[in-house]
Chain A
Amino acid sequence: MTAASVTQAPPRRRLRDRLPVLHQLRQSVGLQRGMLVAGLIMLGVFILCAIFAPLIAPYGFAQRADASGSFGTQQPPSPEHLFGTTVGGYDVLSRVVFGSQTAILVVIVAVTLSLFIGVALGLYGGYFGGWLDKVMVVVFDAIYAFPSLLLAIVLSIVISGGQSSLWGGVLAAGGSIIVVFIPQYFRVIRAETVRIKAEPFVESAKVLGASSTRIVFKHVFRNATRTLPLIITLNSAEAILTLAGLGYIGFGIEPTAAADWGYDLNKAQSDVTSGIWWTALYPGLAIVIAVLGIMLVGESLNDLADPRLRARRRVSQASGQVAETSVVPGGTLTAGPGGIDGLEDGETFDEHGIEVKR
């Protein structure tokens, strides 16, 4: 999409430019790079914790005693218990570390399932339209406008009767998040599909006599799903927050089944009033780091994908090559300097409303 790539036009970009995150990291400058790096570090800590939880955590998540006896409840941080112990007598550090596993599990379950269903329905609705599409739009809009935590509560009651085992809890949280997310993917993909459907290259395929299946899979699908990585990061963050929210109001996973940050915060409520800070602070910080990491990465990638939002290195006074007349993308008569107007595509900010719902 750049002026220079036209003049030489290498058949394929180099590998390091094609790897998703790495490419953006190289492309970024200044503050944007700072945000991306910070996000990647936090995300890395989160993922490493989840993978190596048994190695990192000093005790098990359901452990209340070791060889030297019971841990004791609400013990302040000490060399044995770096983050102290909870009102239930668990080691806070261990539960914080193991909590990342539960969080990642929910993210994976919720995002994958809602992604598949939402994208499939969005493609169908956007391309074929018809009454089914209209019904889906109305239903999903209704769900989308509804407080998602309330919906999650209702679904939690349905799925697990309110409280549960690891998988019961994960499925309850995950399931409710799926129902809330499907409308989001549906909306985004449907809107993209409707837009792409009117693009000349799709009409061109239609004029050539291509079947609907071919058009949807060959021309629409890959173009419509380009915005997904950003939405996935945002929804992953939301998934963690919803799981925590459910745990906090008492739909958490039983401490013996798994570590749940939200559940721990629920139990820490009364501690705070009596000045016991460690039981609330650490699980809370864990949520913040996980969510913040994901959101920073998502936000940076979004900026870097949009030429208008991307910061660029300043150039020295009037330097560089004059662009060839023939390299103007689109070749509009109206464009200004070669390749510069062409970089600014007419993307709108319409879909930004999506990223801000919980």
Chain B
Amino acid sequence: MSTVVDIRNLGVSFSTDAGAVKAVEDVSISVERGEVLAIVGESGSGKTVTAKTILGLLPETATTKGAVVLSNREGTRESDVISISKQKLRDIRGTDVAMVFQEPSTALNPVYTVGWQIAEGLQAHSDMSKKEARAKAIEILGRVGIPDPEVRVDHYPHQFSGGQKQRVVIAMALVLDPGLIVADEPTTALDVTVQAEILDLLRRCRDEFGTAIVLITHNMGVVADLADRVAVMYQGNVVEQADVKTLFAAPQADYTKALLAAVPYVGHGTVRAAERAAARPTNWTDQPPVVEATDLEIVYPGRFGRAGFRAVDGVDLVIRPGEVLGLVGESGSGKTTIGRAIAGLTKVTGGSLKVLDAEMNGIRERQFRPLRSRIGFVFQDPASSFNPLLTIAECVAEPLVIHGRAKDASSARARVNELLEAVQLPRAYGDRYPHELSGGQRQRASLARALALEPELLIADEPTSALDVSVQARVLELFAELQREFGFASLFISHDLAVVDLLADRIAVLYRGRLVEEGTGTEVLGSPADPYTQRLLASLPVPDPVAQAERREELRRLREAE
């Protein structure tokens, strides 16, 4: 084995308005030929900066020290990316090292065909003719699993689906046969079923092309699925480096331990749900439901007389008082639409949706407004769900002021302080502006605002998907605690089965606007009946390399069975 890239004592700083910020402090990592090294860390750990340094892609505001020594596939040439000339850097980009980006839809230039973009890389490094380059592009597209590559080579990026775009990006990286591919969160923007396929493809890159991969990710499941070796980064430093099996089995650094403990694991929540179910009174199911949807249909109108988009198609569901319903689905499944319809943000176009005994189909805002004090809502993105010009205390006081429980924000302060304490935020944070809080803190404040009027129903729309794993764990815990304390019913929307499993009493699975399966966690996750649920479950990588290998086999069997 020989080393493909050797990072020695790398340090990177950025100049910002607040002065210099150090992103990477002192990192030494090396990657061997044909090996997948995962660099794991949460936001701010410096993992992406480290990855971009390997290609010399840092912005001009960055300054670097140390060395990043890259060798070519044959091992005949070595170059230090940090000190070589621009011309030399261009020569090694694409041939010695290539990159796969996080968001495939932005990594492809929208105004050129994919074939043109693949050929461009080829022509930048050789005197290849247009015809040859095109043939090569068709070949590589076929190899990464794009059907009909002869036709697709002339298509523009917007004509591909998200997963296919990522395949194209990978094809572009592979076309010059580099010894190393840097993949920066290559599956984060994708749905979990698509993610499994892209991970398969990356595995093939290593096995068939013999390419080494530096995999940047925050997802321990992805690490367990693909990596051979893992480097854990925290605050600009590598805190631990180990073989993947060793790392998961016996983590050494405290941070690694905490990180692994924070990862939700499918099946962990079922016990808790069973306990809660056992504690309920026998006539509990007879209570009138908080939310009841029958044959619910939501169609978004089309523009200029085009056919509308049917986001929700004949869904039946019930949420009873004090119950948490987990709503799971991939993007486009209609899960968010249902949440918005219950909150009166989206119009119901067919069927019936009863919220707190009010029929939402055809309701007027004026009739619904009094009911709003009984419903809370937590949004996905904590960064944008607060008015940037108001302090946290003013934001949390909003519901109290609107529904006449307080005259203004300052007279509501005592109650606001109580609420902040309930969500474990220091009182003093009330005087801060939203941008002065971290993502997790903001999401706590968001919970405080949603709970200010002690609602009977709380809708949480992917409340933790924008948060780091360790922060997510704390917020989920808080959510469970608050639910116990306040006893509200909840619709908990998420794309992550493991997260839903932690909290939900019952789980409903949506697929393209239809409800394909519903039941308790044990039923849905233990023995899924619907083929989509089965595939969804099998696609979810578990943070354990040994178990994940088995799971992968199962997914392969499922696919073959289809």
Q: Direct A–B touching in the complex (beta carbon < 8 Å)?
A: yes
Q: Answer whether A209 and B402 are a contact pair too, CB < 8 Å, given A325-B45, A339-B16.
A: yes
Smallest CB-CB separation from B374: which chain A residue? A209
Chain B residues lying within 8 Å of A312, measured Cβ to Cβ, are 15-17, 61
**Is B235 within 8 A of A319, CB to CB?**
no
Select from chain A the residue with minimum beta-carbon distance to B26.
Answer: A318
By a CB distance below 8 angstroms, the chain A residues around B102 are 334
Contact B466 A4 (CB under 8 A): no
Q: Measured between C-beta atoms, what is the minimum distance from B18 to chain A in Å?
A: 4
Q: Is the CB of B22 within 8 A of A340?
A: no
Q: Could you pull out 22 A-B pairs where Cβ atoms are within 8 angstroms?
A: A3-B18, A27-B17, A203-B345, A205-B398, A209-B399, A307-B17, A317-B13, A317-B63, A317-B64, A318-B11, A318-B22, A318-B63, A320-B20, A320-B22, A331-B43, A331-B466, A333-B218, A335-B48, A337-B12, A338-B43, A339-B21, A343-B17
- Residue from the list B63, B403, B432, B468 in contact with A314, Cβ < 8 A: B63
Distance, CA A266 to CA B236, complexed state (A): 66
- Minimum CB distance partner of B17 in chain A: A2
User: Which of A5-13, A227-235, A293-301 participates in binding chain B?
Assistant: A5-13
CB of A294 to closest CB in B, whole Å: 26
Binary CB contact string for chain A from 184 to 200 against chain B (1 if under 8 A, 0 otherwise): 00000000000000011
A332–B47 CA distance with the chains assembled, in angstroms: 14
Residues of A within 8 A of B385 (CB): 200-201, 203-204
Having A312-B61, A325-B43, one finds 11 other A-B pairs with CB under 8 Å, namely A200-B380, A201-B388, A204-B385, A209-B402, A312-B16, A318-B12, A320-B21, A323-B23, A329-B383, A337-B14, A340-B16
Tell me the bound Cα distance from A1 to B373 in angstroms.
32
Interface centre among B12, B23, B64 (most CB of A within 10 A): B23
Question: Once the chains are docked, how many angstroms separate the CA of A319 from the CA of B21?
Answer: 7
What residues of chain B lie closer than 8 Å to A340, measured between beta carbons? Answer: 14, 16, 21, 23
Q: Which of A1, A2, A339 touches B44 (beta carbons < 8 Å)?
A: A339
Instruction: Please give, as numbers and ranges, the residues of chain B lying within 8 Å of A332 by CB-CB distance.
Output: 43, 439, 466
A327 interface residue, CB < 8 Å from B? yes
Given contact pairs A6-B436, A317-B13, A339-B16, A200 touches B22 in the complex (Cβ within 8 A):
no
- The 8 A CB mask of B416-442 against A (1 = contact, 0 = none) is 000000000000000110011111111
Q: How far does the alpha carbon of A337 sit from the alpha carbon of B372 in the complex, in Å? A: 40
Residue B234 at the chain A interface, CB threshold 8 Å = yes
CA A330 – CA B16 in complex, angstroms?
17
Give A221 Cβ to nearest chain B Cβ, in Å: 10
Distance of A3 Cα from B441 Cα, bound (Å):
15
Cα–Cα, bound, A351→B43 (Å) = 32
CB of A336 within 8 Å of the partner chain: yes
Q: Which of B20-38 contact A (CB under 8 A)?
A: 20-25
Q: Is B116 an interface residue (CB 8 A)?
A: no
| Residues B16 and A3 in contact, CB atoms below 8 Å apart | yes
We find that the number of chain A residues with CB closer than 8 angstroms to chain B is: 58
- Shortest B301–chain A CB gap in Å is 14
Q: Is the CB of B431 within 8 A of A337?
A: no
- Contact: A323 with B343, CB < 8 Å? no
Q: Are B432 and A207 in contact (CB under 8 A)?
A: no
Name the residue of chain B whose CB is nearest to the CB of A203: B345
How distant is the Cα of A331 from the Cα of B444 in the complex, in angstroms? 13
Within the complex, the shortest CB–CB distance from B132 to chain A, in Å, comes to 37
- Which residues in B have their C-beta under 8 angstroms from that of A320? 13-14, 19-22
In this assembly, does A14 line the interface, its C-beta being within 8 Å of a C-beta of chain B? no
Report chain B residues within 8 Å CB of A316: 13, 20, 63
Say yes or no: is A313 at the interface (Cβ < 8 Å to chain B).
Answer: yes
* A274 contacts B by Cβ under 8 Å: no
Q: Which of B22-81 contact A (CB under 8 A)?
A: 22-25, 42-49, 52, 61, 63-65
> B375: CB under 8 A from chain A?
yes
Determine how close the nearest CB of chain A comes to the CB of B499; give it in whole angstroms. Answer: 13
Give the docked Cα–Cα distance between A1 and B438 (Å).
Answer: 11
Which B residues touch A223, using CB under 8 A? 387-389
Query: A306 at interface (Cβ–Cβ under 8 A)?
Result: no
Name the B residues within 8 Å of A318 (CB-CB).
11-13, 22, 25, 63-65
